[in-house]
Amino acid sequence: MENCIFCKIVAGVIPSPRLYEDDKMIVIRDIEPKAKLHYLCIPKTHFALLSEMDAERAEIVKHCFSVIPTLEKTLGLEEGYRVIINQGENGGQTVHHLHIHLLGGEKLADF
């Protein structure tokens, strides 16, 4: 998608070191970390909302959630972490390309 910052990162137009990459997703560090460790798991396919799910997108999201646990040690998240997907205006979504936040590296505040 034109003008989508995460599509540009996926395409390499905006450089961002990849901590993990496969054919369906990348993992990068969040540019404004909200915890000691803050990663973004970004599907390579552009869609904004869970409500736009179809079978193909569901496979991609399933893949992301299958891979994330295998990266816990590499990412320093063995002691636990928080998974967040912000959705829409009320959810505070600022980048309209679905992504999964992984926050950890410290004891996170209750919310």
- Name residue 81's beta-bridge partners: 104
Any catalytic annotation for residue 99? yes
65 — phi, psi (to 5°)? -70, -20
25 and 40 Cβ atoms separated by less than 8 Å: no
In the complex, least distance from residue 28 CB atom to Zn ion, rounded to whole angstroms: 13
Question: Rounded to the nearest 5°, which phi and psi values hold at 90?
Answer: -70, -25
Task: Decide if residue 19 touches ligand 5GP (CB under 6 A).
Answer: no
Kindly tell me which of 17 and 69 has the beta carbon lying closer to ligand 5GP.
Answer: 17
Binding string, 91-110, against Zn ion, x = CB under 5 A?
------x-------------
Amino acid at 23: D
Is the separation of the CB atoms in 65 and 26 below 8 Å? no
- Interface contacts to Zn ion, rule CB under 5 A: 1, 4, 6-7, 46, 97
- Interface contacts to ligand 5GP, rule CB under 6 A: 5, 14, 16, 28-32, 40, 86, 92-95
